[in-house]
Amino acid sequence: MTTLSTPQEKAELLEKAAVQGRSLWDDARARLMRNRAAVTSMVILGTLVLLATIGQLLWVHDYDTIYRDRVWIAPTLENWHLLGTDAQGRDMVARILVGLGVSLMVGIVATFVSLVIGVTWGATAGFIGGKVDQAMMRFVDILYSLPFIFFVIILMVTFGRNIVLIFVAIGAVEWLTMARIVRGQTIALKGMEFVEAAHAAGVSRTKIIQRHIIPNVLGPVVVYVTLMIPVVILAESFLSFLGLGVQEPLTSLGRLISAGAQDMEPAPWTLIGPAVTMMVTLFCLNFIGDGLRDAIDPKDR
């Protein structure tokens, strides 16, 4: 019987046993928690989400209240205009809080729409294969060839302009890349032993996709989702910059940046506040996405 001569050997053995006893998700969570940039970003992003959720309820000014005697006031403690006012005398803190909430909502909802469509489409095409796969992916290629802004304009002209349509329009375009990623993962998985065993047991294709394929592609999908939300937020900002985004008096970070760019010379604070808020939000989302990618990547285990 082998004995451990030193406390260091005992500690190493216990650490190895603990690592071997952890599941993939436990190990990924531990690796993510060791990533300081990702953890710091999660704390900052959580604070921003909290401010976007309840900040407007606690702030002294409403986002749509117009003070005609306070146009383009620089940041000041007087009257609690901490980030100044815009060209119509509206408080910038209140506007940024609402804009942050709308931008995050667009990012999350549109990403969820693309997640549902993309995962279902890609898993079905990759698992069935053959002519069905070719037809489904050729349809994806056709949609890829359409300019994004052209597709959004068609939807808005057809169904009218409202914030819900913005969610659907952006999500209806961004699912294409998701479908390709999931299809590639599905093709790699459908030859695995557990899928063959499900086939032999008489499980239907639909059940195999739902119970075996989709759960096993969630790792790359989760990482891609965190990286897609910034892309969707920027897409909405681009639409707002062109006047196709949310409409007044509601606002978003993209619309605030668009208005601030026009007033940059007389009132630079109307651009700086929204721009810094968007920059911090996008940095946090990208750091979290990078941390998840490094934590889930099996080559780093």
Q: pLDDT (tens digit, 9 = 90+) per residue, 166-188? A: 777 777 777 888 898 889 888 88
Q: 85 forms bridges with which residues in the sheet?
A: 91
Q: Residue 284: helix, strand or coil by DSSP?
A: helix
The domain ranges of the chain are 25-65+79-300
Give the pLDDT of residue 138.
92
Q: Flag whether pLDDT at 12 surpasses 60.
A: no
The per-residue pLDDT for range 133-161, each reduced to its tens digit, is 999 999 998 888 877 777 777 776 776 66
Determine the pLDDT at residue 175: 86
| Range in 23-32, 47-56, 185-194, 255-264 with the lowest mean pLDDT | 23-32
198-208 pLDDT per residue, tens: 878 888 878 88
97: pLDDT strictly greater than 90? yes
pLDDT at 18: 47
Per-residue confidence band for 17, with pLDDT thresholds at 50, 70 and 90: very low
pLDDT at residue number 240: 75
Q: How far apart are CA 81 and CA 15, in angstroms?
A: 54
What pLDDT sits at residue 24? Answer: 60
For residue 1, the model assigns a pLDDT of 45
Question: DSSP labels for 218-269?
Answer: HHHHHHHHHHHHHHHHHHHHHHHHTT-S--TTS--HHHHHHHHHHTTTT-TH
Q: How far is CA 234 from CA 21, 173, 223, 230, 298, in A?
A: 42, 14, 18, 6, 30
What is the per-residue pLDDT for 227?
A: 76
Which residues are within 8 A (CB) of 56 and not within 5 positions of it... i.e. 6 or more apart? Answer: 62, 63, 94, 97, 98, 101
Into which CATH architecture does domain 25-65+79-300 fall? Orthogonal Bundle (1.10)
CA–CA separation, 240 and 2 (whole Å): 70
Segment 241-268 mean pLDDT = 84
